[in-house]
Copies of this chain bind each other. A is one copy, B any other.
Amino acid sequence: MLEELKSLVSDAELHEECGVFGIFGVPDAANLTYYALHALQHRGQEGCGIVTVDNGTFRRVKGEGLVIEVFNERRLAELTGSMAIGHVRYAVGGIKGMENIQPFLFRHNTGDFAMAHNGSIVNYKQLRKEMEDNGSLFQSASDAEILAHLIKKGNFEAHSDRIHAIKEALNRMDGAFAFLIMTKNRIYACRDKYGLRPLALGRLNGGYVVASETCAFDVLGAEFIRDVEPGEIVTIDHHGIRSNFYAEPERHAMCAMEYIYFARPDSDIDGCNVHNYRKESGKILWEEAPCEADIVVGVPDSSLSAAMGYSEASGLPYEMGLIKNKYIGRTFIQPSQSMREKGVKMKLSAVKTIVKDKRVVLVDDSIVRGTTSLRIVRMLREAGAKEVHVRIASSPLVKPCYYGVDITSLDELISARHNVNQVCDIIGADTLAFLSKEGMLKAGRRSDLCCACFDGEYPTELYE
């Protein structure tokens, strides 16, 4: 259950697991960005912001909270213009504060620019120290400010110079990223050379859109064009779109976790639909680890597709044996410890009528610390399940991720310290099986995912 991750990390390492969106050449750009960010809300709920440009003037609204909490009609009305970039932020490691909420806005006599970022730069500390030693001042703890300073070291006045400056800057940055840079008449969309983070390009009413996930296109009625390529910088302006590469694409190592957990099921990433990926993974999971049982139950919401696949392949009926209590927004009063002890369910309830006296196959996307799995297995048994067979639609998590997925502390990963049988005992399941790495690749019909958190094969250098 990857959701555990959100409360796991405690050190101050900042990962930018976020969502970005850009739009060019469409009136009411801020309003459309509002709906797009709402569709990307699952990628970050800590804060969000929108910057527009109108006749050369940059306007920004940002704040802590959900898209519906930060924006209202008055504020959107202030954001005039037909080009905009937006950002939803998932703050990890306890790093909060308005100064870290994006997009960032940099003012300079050669031209202001705004920036939004999803990903994690692995040589961040090295770069920052070098720049501070040269007198640069930082106002946030974000990768994006590094890029801004790097770019400004170059010549940024003419477009041709800018592309050069951006290329040079990106070449200094190693890691996973999707950057949007907006000047007063252009948007530059950049993706790391490994393709670790997704970034898609679309068309809308004569203009262009760019987003972390294609679900943001569907809500707007925009048409998908193609993914931004690893190592590519796509320039969007009144001439249309043009392509530059700052680096030769390396091994195309799209993050497996985007398919397994992060992305919305209706998004397509690098040509593969996320729901399809998950369903396929569930089918392969059945082939790899079949099970005699009465019903298949998925952990909502991210594991439902895999559970359907397992059901379809096995012929076992798929049932709604777990219900998610949607506690949304900052205004929801979380159950206190004493409330939880009284039995108030934080997130999930088991549906007794459905699981009672049944042998249940429980499909989940992953196991991190094991505490959530333990809780769900116990909940199903208390609701009357006769047997609980856990099937995980990914391999055991054994390594930290340095590219934005919020796993940094090896000690916390149950599979790093225990083998499958031990984990099965700890979580109290009757049987337990994980999907193989081959299965994970096969589900996406590709051979090139980054599976570093499963196998330790990091596509980048690791530094320090």
Residue of B nearest to A317 (CB): B312
Min CB–CB distance A137 → chain B (angstroms): 5
Bound complex: CA A38 to CA B323 (Å): 14
Determine whether A73 belongs to the interface, using a CB cutoff of 8 Å to chain B.
yes
- Nearest CB on B from A131, distance (A): 10
Assess whether A97 is in contact with B349, with CB atoms less than 8 Å apart. Answer: no
Q: Which residue of B lies closest to A320 (CB)?
A: B275
| A71 contact set on B, CB distance < 8 A | 333
The size of the chain A interface, using a CB distance under 8 A, is 87
Restricting to A257-298, which residues have a CB under 8 Å from any CB of B? 264-266, 268, 273, 275-276, 279
Residue of B76, B128, B153 near A333 (CB, 8 A) is: B76
Stretch at the interface among A235-243, A340-348, A400-408: A340-348
CB-based contact B327/A138 at 8 Å: no
Residue of B nearest to A31 (CB): B339
Residue pair B135, A153 in contact (C-beta under 8 Å):
yes
Of A98-106, A248-256, A438-446, the stretch lying at the interface with chain B is A98-106
Copies, count: 4
Shortest distance between the CB of A81 and any CB in chain B (Å) = 15
Q: Which of A218-226, A362-370, A389-397 contacts B (4 or more CB under 8 A)?
A: A218-226
Identify the interface centre among A135, A224, A345: most chain B CB within 10 Å of its CB.
Answer: A135
CA distance A325 to B220 in the complex (A): 11
Asked if residues A323 and B218 are in contact (CB atoms below 8 Å), the reply is yes
User: Known: A218-B351, A218-B352, A219-B344. Is A333-B34 also a contact (CB below 8 A)?
Assistant: yes
Within 8 A of B (CB), among A147-162: 148-149, 152-153
A139 touches B104 (CB 8 A): yes
* Inter-subunit contact A349/B273 (CB<8 Å): no
CB distance from A356 to the nearest CB of B (A): 10
Within 8 A of B (CB), among A41-91: 59-60, 62, 68-69, 71-73, 76
Flag if A132 contacts B153 (CB, 8 Å): no
Which residues of the other chain, B, contact A218 by a CB distance below 8 angstroms?
Answer: 323, 345, 349-352
List of B residues within 8 angstroms of A31 by Cβ: 333, 336, 339
Q: Is A318's CB under 8 angstroms from B312's CB?
A: yes
Question: A430 at interface (Cβ–Cβ under 8 A)?
Answer: no
Residue A308, interface by CB 8 Å: yes
Q: Is the CB of A132 within 8 A of B109?
A: yes
Asked if A140 is an interface residue, CB under 8 A from chain B, the answer is: yes
- Chain B residues positioned under 8 Å from A220 (CB to CB): 342-345
A-B CB contact pairs (8 Å), 7 listed: A34-B333, A60-B99, A72-B331, A219-B349, A220-B343, A265-B351, A273-B353
